[in-house]
Amino acid sequence: MARLDRVGDRRSGAMWPHAASAQQACVGELPSFLAARAGAVPAGNDNLRHLCDRGPAYELDCLRHVLAPDLLQRAERRAGHLGIGADQVLIQWGMIDDTAYLRHLSQHTGIAIDELLDVDRSDLLLRDGQIAAAAASGMVQLRRDGRLVLAIAPRNLTARSICRAVAADPALTRSMRLTSEAALRRLLLQQGGAALARSAARGVSDSYSSMSAAPGLDDRVWRGRLKRGAAVGAVALLPPLMIPAAWWTLLALCFLGFVMLRLVACCWPRPRRLPMARLPDDRLPIYTTIAPLFREADCVAPLMRVIDALDYPHEKLDVILVVEPDDPATLAAIAQLGPRPHLRVLVAPAVAPQTKPKALNWALPFARGSFIAVFDAEDLPETGQLRAALDAFRSSDARVACAQASLCIDNETHSWLSRTFAVEYAGQFDAVLPGLSAMGLPLPLGGSSNHFRTSVLRSVRGWDAFNVTEDADLDFRLARFGHRSVTFDSTTFEEAPIHFRAWRRQRSRWMKGWLQTWCVHMRHPRRLWGDAGPGGFFALNMIAGGNVLTALAYPAMVLGMAMRALGHFSGSPPAVPAALYALVIAATCLSTIAVGLIGTGRRGRRRDLWILAMTPLYWGCLSVAAWRAVAQFVWVPYRWEKTEHGVVRRTGSAPASPAPLQHDASVQR
């Protein structure tokens, strides 16, 4: 197994059911000396949750003569119910902004406010590699006026700990500064933006170069194209010419292996999860949702409606939208939403490559949640999905790093392609993936509605920005570090392309990414076998490799069968009979139909089964996309061909208007 520091993973897995966010605020996010002066106890002590969650809301003392007493009482009750600071409740309710609160907290405690406007890089006591940790913790150590100070942007229960610590030791005010989240982020981007951009683009390749599709820094474009072209040409031409019988037999076995894995996964018994008691709100962790957007102006408002409708306390919801720097229309659409305290907008750096995984990596250091969910612009997740994901983690062992929800196409009526896409998704997410999960094999994640333990995601350096199916690649990398993924019962409705050109672009990108993933992890087969075990080795070759290989070879199999049947296939030796081609083609098409039948049955959509009659034609379309993917793999391996969203009328249910904030109903706003 590949070695990796898993301290953060163990802490996350063991602590979060016991109000991890509160513990991290009191101890993890503040220096140990400050926590000690605040009267806290070491992490793991059962009294810590009581001290942090149930103690008086000292953070409201600075507002006693500013806001109405009944409002403060309601905020304190809500804070006790959630296990977070009452200041955060008021900010999330929109009763006071963080800048105004910091001003009152400064006057009350005597800790100066620092806007961090004139900080030189030499005064920022962080190495480049520590910039991301500072963004995650909300703290930064500085040199100000010749003195070392700690600038803190309060979050969770930090303000309460500060008040208690200063009351116990007033001398602490000389070594502390208060700052806003915006000021801290501005400082880190000004002084460490290059390091953060480097980490977003090359974090995986810098840490685990053998597990990244990134080119070398000194690689020439033409040299890379020549190498990839030579490799593809050698694989495609030499074996069929030199050992045709063995090659076509091996190809047939690969087809059958791919088919059998999918069928076995569909039929594998799925473990029954007993219903779990609903977690009280004070035991829920902070949850971050990240949505990377590019030219998605029309999707912004619907996306925020469904996120606001999630069955999760808004005070514990951290929403990040990542926008590309050359996309002013999407930024304008976000601005039209108006103030939303739980929403943050990050602009991805203008460095290559311009891909979804790079945007996700850019958001990763700024995520405040113990768990992260990834959504696409057009997604309509069920309202209970975050709680269902937490239940999946609770019912699994600590090795589980990712939980994948089911994806369902809800515009299947627009074309035969979208109907076929819907049946294909039903088979993949309602039959194949649950079976692979039950078998303990790596999953080709869906790219959306993935839910991660934040600590594990950071420890493996997030997504590979140079892999255009970053989701599948990430799960195989997680498997190599001893983690695994599971599926859970919750649905996210998605939009399928309705025109062949859009479908071809999307499917070519997927095929190219699977080819990248196979090439990356098969660089050292023996190492892969040792890291992921025989199951992971087989899964990579049958899932990532099999998806591409079967699509590439399908036309040759059809042509070979036809020509052999007509007696004109002179190039193939007698050892490759037409019956072999017929068996492979029949098995491929029949297995696709069987998987579709099982998936649509579980999804309750048997009315769409007639579209399975077009499976041979659909496989022909897959072959077109696969060969296009090979050409792009040689020529433009890192080009991200974006799928256009918001072009069809959806049948999935989404809330008609933003849901109200989930706080005490008696609060008047």
pLDDT tens-place string over residues 608-652 = 788 888 888 999 999 999 999 999 999 888 988 887 766 666 665
Residue with tokens 């040199």: 143
Query: Quick count: other Cβ atoms within 10 Å of Cβ 327?
Result: 17
Whether residue 183 is found in the same domain as residue 238: no
Q: For 144-164, how does the pLDDT look when each residue is reduced to its tens digit (9 = 90+)? A: 888 899 999 998 889 998 998
The per-residue pLDDT of the chain, averaged, comes to 84
**Mean pLDDT of the 10-31 span:** 36
The predicted structure's pLDDT at residue 565: 65
- Given 205, 229, 256, the domain boundary residue is 205
Beta-strand relationship, 147-152 and 176-178: parallel
Residue 6, pLDDT score: 33
Contacts 24+ apart (CB under 8 A), 413-417: 413/651, 414/498, 414/648, 415/498, 415/499, 416/611, 416/614, 417/496, 417/497, 417/498, 417/499, 417/500, 417/503, 417/621
User: Which DSSP state fits 222?
Assistant: H
Which of 55-59, 250-254, 576-580 comes out lowest in average pLDDT?
576-580
Domain harbouring 602, CATH code? 3.90.550.10
**For residue 296, is it within any domain?**
yes
pLDDT of residue 249: 79
Q: State the pLDDT at residue 661.
A: 38
- Name 318's bridge partners: 288
Q: Which pLDDT does position 30 carry in this prediction? A: 54
| Res 16: pLDDT | 31
Which pLDDT tens digit goes with each residue over 520-548? 999 999 999 999 999 999 999 999 988 89
In a shared domain, residues 164 and 215: no
Report whether pLDDT(584) > 90.
no
Q: Is 286 inside a domain boundary?
A: yes
Calpha distance 316→91 (Å, rounded): 12
Work out the widest C-alpha separation in the chain, in whole angstroms: 95
Report for 366-375, 551-560, 576-585, 637-646: range of highest mean pLDDT? 366-375
Domain ends where: 172, 205, 238?
205
- CA angle in degrees (0–180, nearest 5) for 315-175-34: 55
Is a pLDDT exceeding 70 seen at residue 81?
yes
346, 464: one domain: yes
How far, in Å, CA of 37 to CA of 165, rounded?
Answer: 5
Residues 431, 439: Cα–Cα separation, whole Å:
12
pLDDT at 52 over 60: no
Residue 2 domain-assigned?
no
| Statement to judge: residues 195 and 213 lie in one domain | no
- Tell me whether residue 595 is in a domain: yes
Q: Domain check: are 246 and 316 in the same one?
A: yes
Do residues 200 and 282 both lie within one domain? no
**Which pLDDT tens digit goes with each residue over 90-138?**
999 999 999 999 999 999 999 999 999 989 888 998 888 888 888 988 8
Torsion 646-647-650-652 (CA) sign: negative
Residue 185 domain flag = yes
Q: Percent of the chain beyond pLDDT 70?
A: 83
pLDDT band at 238 (very low <50, low <70, confident <90, very high): low
Domain hosting residue 30, numbered range: 7-205
Place of tokens 């992921």: 532
**Total-model pTM:** 0.87
1: in domain: no
C-alpha span between 384 and 371 (Å, rounded): 15
The answer on pLDDT for 663 being more than 60 is: no
Q: Is the CB of residue 494 less than 8 Å from the CB of residue 407?
A: yes
Q: What is the rounded radius of gyration, in angstroms, for the C-alpha atoms of the chain?
A: 27
* Domain shared by 249 and 102, yes or no: no
| Same domain? 151 vs 275 | no
Last residue of some domain: 205, 227, 250? 205
Are 271 and 132 members of one domain?
A: no
User: Quick one: 233 and 305 in the same domain?
Assistant: yes
Would you state the pLDDT for residue 652? Answer: 56
Decide if 640 is inside a domain.
Answer: yes
Is residue 471 situated within a structural domain? yes
- For 300, 347, 358, 406, the CA distances from 293, given in Å and listed in that order, are 8, 10, 12, 21
241 and 191 within one domain? no
Give me the number of domains the chain comprises: 2
Residues 167 and 292 in one domain: no
